[in-house]
Structure 1
Amino acid sequence: MTTSLPATRGTARDADPATPPGRRRAPLAILVAAGGALLVATVLVAVTIGPADLAVTEVARSIAHHLGLDVTPVPRLHDAIVWELRLPRVLTAAAVGAGLALAGAVMQSLTRNPLADPYLLGLSSGASLGAVAVLVVGVGLLLPVAAFAGALAALVATLALARTGGSLTPARTVLAGLAVSQLCAAGTSFVIFWTATGDSYREILSWLLGSLAGATWQTVAIAGVALVVVGAVVLASARRLDAFTFGDTAAAALGVDVDRTRWGLMTAVALLTGAMVAVSGAIGFVGLVLPHAVSVLTGPAHRRLLPVAALVGATFLVWADTLARTLFDPRELPVGIVTALVGVPVFAVLLRRGRGAAWS
C-alpha cells in the first residue's frame, strides 16, 4: 500500500500572498524546459563577454568542434579563448550555482529552518581552513583537495560534537555546526595572522570571498560529478523531503525512516557542498535566497522546487561571475561580493512580501 506524502513545507515558502488561492502553476515540464533553455543561452552568451570580441556562433562552433561534430572551425586563438579559458569557468559557475541552490533547499527542509544554507554544518569554515593552510605554504595545486578534506573534517567534527549531548537532533546538530564553524574560522584567522605574507593575503582573501578565477576542466569535472551524483539522490528523495514538513512524527507515520533519511541526505549534501566550496570558495546567499525565490514559481513541493532551483541557481551564478570578472576589468571582484550585493536586496524583498511570516 502506498501512502501519498504531503506537498507542503513548514518554512517561509509555504504561503505566497501574491498568489491567489487555487491559481494553477505552470507544469513542471514547461518550467524545466524554460530554465534549461535559459541556462544554455546564458552559457553561450557569457562565454562571449570579455576583452576578446567573440560571437555566439563562434562559441557554438568551437564547442561543436571539440565534441567531434563536423563544423567550420573557428580561428585558433578564439578557439583557445573559448575552450581553455572561458567555457571551463562558465560551466564551473553553473555547476556550483546549481549545487548550492539544491543544497540550500534540502538543508532548509531537513532542519525545518528557513534560514538554513549549505554551510550550516561548518562546511565552509572547514574548507576555508584547509584551503588557507595550503595557500600560505604555496601549494595552490592542492587547494581543491585540502578544501574538500577540510569540509569533510568539519562535518565529522559537527556530528561527533552533536552526539556528545545524547541523541542526534536537528537543533543540536545546528548548534554543533555553529561551534565548529567558529572554531575553524578562528583557526583560519590564526593561520593568516601567523604565516601569510606579501601577495598571499590577496590570494587568500579572494578565495575566502568566493572566486572562480582558477576554474579549469578539472574543476568542471569535480563540481559536475558531485552535482550529478548527489543531485540524483536528492531528486529521488523529493517526496520524503515533503514528509518532513509536518515534523518527524508525521513523517514516520507516513512510512519514512526519519533518522536514516535525514542523516543520509545531510551527508550527501555535505559532500556536494564540500565539492562546490573546494572549487569556488565560500559563495554566500545562493543557497539561502534562491530556494525561497524559486518557490514563488514552483510552489513548495520538492519534485518541482528542486530541479527548477538547480537551473535558476546555475543561471544566476553564471551571470554573477560574469559581472565579477568584467565590471571593473582588468580588475576582478570576488564573486561572493556580487552574490551578496544581489542576494541581500532579494532577501529583503521576500521578507517585505510576507514570506518571512514563519521566520518571526
Structure 2
Amino acid sequence: MRVDLFDFELPPERIALRPASPRDSARMLVVRPDGLGDRVVTDLPGQLRAGDMLVFNDTRVIPAQLEGRRGEARIGATLHKREGPREWRAFIRNAKRVREGDRIDFGEGVSAIAGDRASDGSMALVFEGEEPVELLLERAGRMPLPPYIAGKREADERDASDYQTMFAKEKGAVAAPTAALHFTPALMESLGAAGILHETLTLHVGAGTFLPVKAEDTDSHVMHSEWGRIEAATAERLNAARAEGGRIIPVGTTSLRLLESAADETGRLHPFEGDTAIFITPGYRFRVTDGLITNFHLPRSTLFMLVSALMGRERMQAAYAHAIGTGYRFYSYGDASLLLPRG
C-alpha cells in the first residue's frame, strides 16, 4: 500500500512532552464500529467485560543513549538490540567518523570497540571490561527519549521514572511500551474488581520503533527485529481465557505484535522465545487480538498502519481527526485510545 495513505496533519503542539499526572487521569478515546467516545483512563473497567484479558509488556527501559568521543570527534550512540553478553547493535550519530576497530570513550570508565556496520545503518558495539553492560549503562547512559520529545527538551531525572511502566521488570528495552504508562495500582485494583484479568509477556522494544517509514510503499519497508518471550504457562492461561469467551486485549502495539507472532492460524497461542519482525498493515488477518489499548501515533508510522489494520484506515483517520480537533495529546507521553473492532 502507498505510505502516503497513512499521512495526516499533526500540529507539533499535540506531541506531549510530559505524561499526565496522575497517570490514569489521561484522556482515552474509545473507538468502536458504531462511533467514538471521549473518556478518561479511569473509565476503562466500565468499557470492558468480566473475563476480558489485558496483556502487558513487562520490559524495562535501560539508559541506552550514550555520548562519547573517538579522538576529537563527538559520537552519539543509541543502543537498539542486544547481540551478545557484551555486544549491542547501535545507531550512531556522526557515524562517518567511526570505523570498525575504533575505540569510543563514553566517559565514567565506559568504552566500546566499534564492529561491523549492518545494512540498516546500525553498528556493532562491543563494550570493554568485565562489569555487566547494564552497570556500565547505569553509570554512563541516559534514558532514550523518543526523538520527537528529545528534540524539544533534554531528558532529566523525572524521565527515569516517568518512562517506566508499573510492570517494568525485564531489563532490555530502549523504548517504553508506552500504552502501559497509563496504568496505576489503583486502576489495576478496579479492573480486578470488575473481573478483568491480566497477564504479562516480554518484548524488548528497539530503537527501530522510532524510525520513520522512508519507503513510498509498505512492501518496501523493512521492520527491525526485536526479541520477545511468552512463557508456556502464560500462553495456556491466555488460551483458556479466550476459550471461555474472554477477549484478548493487548496493552500496546508491542504486546500485540508478539501475541500475533506466537499465534497459529487457528488463533491458539504457543510459547515463544526469539526475534520477531512482524509488520502489520491493512489486509492482515488478526489471529488472537480482539482489541487494543494504545497511544496516538505519528503520521506515516508503522504504528498508525497497525491500528488502521485493526480498525480500518478510514475509521482511524476519522478518529485521529477527532483527537486532534479536541486536544488529545499524542505519542509516548500522550493520551490513550481503546480500540474495539467488534464493539
Task: Please report the TM-score for the alignment, with normalisation by the length of structure 2.
Answer: 0.27
Greater percentage in helix: 1
